[in-house]
Structure 1
Amino acid sequence: VLPVGISFYTFHGLSYVIDIYYKRIKAEYNFVDYSLFVSYFPLLVAGPIERATHLLPQVKLKRDFNTEKAKEGISQIVWGLFKKVVVADTCANYANAIFDNYPSMDSVSLILGTVYFAFQIYGDFSGYSDIAVGVSKLFGIDLLKNFNYPYFSRDIAEFWRRWHISLSSWFRDYLYIPLGGSKGGMWMKIRNTLIIFLVSGFWHGANWTYVVWGGINALYFLPLLFFKMNRRNTDDVNISWSLSTFKIFGSILITFTITCFAWIFFRSDNILMAISYIEKIFEFSFDLNNFKINMSYNVIIILSYLILFEWNNRGKECPLYNSFSRIKLISTVLLILLLGEFNIKSEFIYFQF
């Protein structure tokens, strides 16, 4: 019964009103321009969440077709389609089977299910964002970057600077800072951080699983805040193949592991299911038949392709748009055509929020 895109539509409208209140922009008297900003179709149902200060001025400008920007946009659309149709939908086939039948699964299969869902939600949501950003580039409009290779993060603070950036920054600017931000004492910082993460969880839906998911991420974040380590990894990941390299990869693996643990609550139907799922993981059981069914060589190849391309191009917005772009574009299109057909087509996960 709710209107399509109610949450993203509302966030756009709120940013406009708040920015006028703080005199960051002037009120818009052209109703068509305002309506286009609030209901701009590529981002209406799943973001990114735009700001009036960023998108509204672009709406009002006269735009000329830019060939290079269009090429970049097409590359980003293709990469987004690959992440959705190939990565997300392939992982969904296995993640859904494991989560739906978790009582009969062994510990290893349950861990695989968690990893599959982690890549499902990443491919699904960041894939949509890539498509929205790419389509907008065809129109000569630049949208806010929403994902910056989050699974390469070295701690949870860096992860939240790279995951759903438009939502995280929205809460920071319109909720965290007005509450006092980090200007007050440590207890005020802790309070504000808890509020941000719990509200972020509640924003995803009226289910306690989302609130607990937000609370878990807050607990991950608070030690970094308490020891003033939450801003230590603000640069891109650079590898020099020294002893520090193992530390970097270890940090990335730990961050990915704890993120996957929190995803269990996000994916579960209710709290009891999540707790039961976790309990079965710690039974440390192994069933070879289950493992053979749930471990897919197709998934290994697809995820290897994804990780390799994104790791080697982690400083760029789109992995396909740089050197050897034609070869990478053709190979990705072939994967979409060859592997996408075998998947059950599913809606984008964030269409429900």
Structure 2
Amino acid sequence: MLFSSTIFIFYFLPITLVIYYAIPERYLRARNGVLLAASLIFYSWGEPVYVFLMIYSAFLNYFSALQVRREQHDGGTGKKNLLFAVVMNLFILGFFKYYGFLMDTINDITGANIKYTALALPIGISFYTFQAMSYVIDVYRGTVGPQKNFFRFALYLSLFPQLIAGPIVRYRDVAEELEDRTHSLEDFGAGSMRFVFGLGKKIILANNLGALYSSITALPDGQVSVLTYWIGILAYTFQIYFDFSGYSDMAIGLGRMMGFHFMENFNYPYISKSITEFWRRWHMSLSSWFREYVYIPLGGNRVTVPRHILNLLIVWSLTGLWHGANWNFIMWGTYFGVLLILEKYVYGKKIEKLPAWGQHLYTMVIVIISWVFFSITDIGQALEYLKTMFFMGGHPVANIKTLYFLRTSLVLLGASALCSTPVVLEKFKKLADRYPRWSIAVMAGVFVLSVAYLVFGSYNPFLYFRF
């Protein structure tokens, strides 16, 4: 089930909220029970079998954390139980997400042609597995105490607002709210506004941008031009941002409607002036997870230069692999790792001396190139796309199709560029402060328009659904 679906908006969410708020606030345990039941129904809607895998993951990590603390209390380190939990989590993730990729790689290298049955990817497994591992690791470190109530822990792991697409919520960030949280009309209103804002980004912008990109990549070779491919990858650049950040906005808004406060996941990454800054603003919960649980344990930057370079390459290769079981994702992650190394040790100071527009242009060109490898899983096809973008594909600079796409998408691309900056939100906040009723009318208009697109449109993918 997607947040951007009529089933969720008009049936699942209203029913869940009515039952949730029908229970008096002092009975938080009962409210948690409603959320746990709703979360399991939400997940099993499209994955009825894999809900048992998630429940198993909850049992595994719940008891592993208890055992870690019990061993530490008895004078041990708890390291063996920690290692067991981490290995089991990685095995589950690896088996369901990377088994097919591994078999294909073996067949390609050896020519063995080993037959295997492809496994359907459990939705959200990358997100909830990382949450589970961070919990056990934090218990081992003593950052948090183990949760004694299994159902409370299961709620943390399965909470439907952030279950299938993040942000990656660490247990310590919501531990208190699982046991005692407040609800207010102000929080509910702010959460509702955030949800509608994210819905608009996803439906009105991302879906139309995705349709544009799909139309361009479907063109026969004879109708391709340099500028048309630039329009296509610009559309994808905005699509993936509004698709994922819109979903994060909806998750954060839903959480706030029910008393939870999740961390921000995006902070206008397309205004960045370096790749380093870009990754401080893009998918911040994932970057934070890898920094705390992989990069720092490897030694971080408090090591020799060669070891620091190796640490960065390891982290960014894993970041790419986390996104998908394919070589293009590993290349995508390594690409950013190399660029971060170059900024750190080669030309970072020179970039800082450029005017602001030059720094921004440098960053966006690098990011746009990266999305080619992200969007096209076949590396050969991705390279062909890039060759065309940079006048090496034997295609004209522009043609009649270019003019068509410019005429039909210029407003969409312009609006997307504007909405990817803080300008629109800042203007809206000023409007809300001065004219509260008008701001409500604006959000009502966004909601109605989004629903109209949902009802009458047929293109409603979610890019990060596969992760």
- Provide Cα deviations, 1:140-184, integer angstroms capped at 9, x if missing partner: 110011011111111111110100000011000000000000111
- Given candidates 389, 402, 419, the residue that maps to 1:281 is 389
- Given candidates 173, 183, 186, the residue that maps to 2:305 is 186
Distance 1:332 1:304 in 2: 18
Quote the offset at 1:210 in angstroms: 0.6
Residue identity over aligned pairs, in percent, reads 34
Q: Which has the higher helix share?
A: 2
> Could you tell me which residue of structure 1 aligns to residue 418 of structure 2?
308
Note closer, same or farther for the CA distance 1:72–1:295 as it changes in structure 2 (3 Å cut). same
Secondary structure (helix, strand or coil) at the match of 1:295 reads helix
Which moves more between the two structures, 180-189 or 288-297? Answer: 288-297
> Could you tell me which residue of structure 2 aligns to residue 33 of structure 1?
152
- Provide Cα deviations, 1:79-109, integer angstroms capped at 9, x if missing partner: 1111110111101111112223363411100
Note closer, same or farther for the CA distance 1:277–1:224 as it changes in structure 2 (3 Å cut). same
Quote the offset at 1:313 in angstroms: 5.5
Unaligned runs of 5+ in 2: 1-119
- Given candidates 377, 397, 405, the residue that maps to 1:269 is 377
- Provide Cα deviations, 1:110-157, integer angstroms capped at 9, x if missing partner: 111110001111111111100000011100110011011111111111
Note closer, same or farther for the CA distance 1:318–1:348 as it changes in structure 2 (3 Å cut). farther
Quote the offset at 1:14 in angstroms: 0.2
Aligned pairs for 1:55-70 within 5 A:
55-61=174-180, 63-70=181-188
Quote the offset at 1:189 in angstroms: 1.5
- Provide Cα deviations, 1:9-36, integer angstroms capped at 9, x if missing partner: 1011101000011110011110011101
> Could you tell me which residue of structure 2 aligns to residue 294 of structure 1?
405
Q: Is the 8 A contact 1:33 1:56 kept in 2?
A: no
Q: Is the 8 A contact 1:81 1:127 kept in 2?
A: yes
> Could you tell me which residue of structure 2 aligns to residue 236 of structure 1?
none
Secondary structure (helix, strand or coil) at the match of 1:168 reads helix
Note closer, same or farther for the CA distance 1:33–1:26 as it changes in structure 2 (3 Å cut). same
Aligned pairs for 1:6-85 within 5 A:
6-61=125-180, 63-85=181-203
Which moves more between the two structures, 105-114 or 330-339? Answer: 330-339
> Could you tell me which residue of structure 2 aligns to residue 241 of structure 1?
none
- Given candidates 345, 349, 352, the residue that maps to 2:459 is 345
Quote the offset at 1:304 in angstroms: 3.4
> Could you tell me which residue of structure 2 aligns to residue 90 of structure 1?
208
Distance 1:128 1:318 in 2: 21
Quote the offset at 1:250 in angstroms: 2.9
Distance 1:264 1:257 in 2: 11
> Could you tell me which residue of structure 1 aligns to residue 6 of structure 2?
none
Quote the offset at 1:339 in angstroms: 5.6
How many matched pairs?
A: 339
Q: Is the 8 A contact 1:79 1:318 kept in 2?
A: no
Q: Is the 8 A contact 2:169 2:285 kept in 1?
A: yes
Supply the AA of the counterpart residue of 2:402: F
Q: Do structure 1's residue 130 and structure 2's residue 249 form an aligned pair?
A: yes
Give me the CA root mean square deviation: 2.7
Distance 1:130 1:278 in 2: 32
Aligned pairs for 1:171-250 within 5 A:
171-226=290-345, 229=348, 247-250=355-358
Which moves more between the two structures, 94-103 or 17-26? Answer: 94-103
Unaligned runs of 5+ in 1: 234-243
Supply the AA of the counterpart residue of 2:203: V
Q: Considering only CA atoms, is the larger Rg found in Structure 1 or Structure 2?
A: 2
Quote the offset at 1:51 in angstroms: 0.4
Quote the offset at 1:316 in angstroms: 10
Q: Do structure 1's residue 150 and structure 2's residue 260 form an aligned pair?
A: no
Distance 2:157 2:377 in 1: 32
Q: Is the 8 A contact 1:98 1:110 kept in 2?
A: yes
Q: Is the 8 A contact 2:238 2:417 kept in 1?
A: no
Q: Is the 8 A contact 2:197 2:249 kept in 1?
A: yes
Distance 1:155 1:323 in 2: 36
Which has the higher relative contact order, 1 or 2, with Cα contacts under 8 A spaced 6 or more apart? 1
Which moves more between the two structures, 135-144 or 276-285? Answer: 276-285
- Given candidates 246, 250, 259, the residue that maps to 1:140 is 259
> Could you tell me which residue of structure 1 aligns to residue 70 of structure 2?
none
| TM-score normalised by length of structure 2 | 0.67
Supply the AA of the counterpart residue of 2:246: G
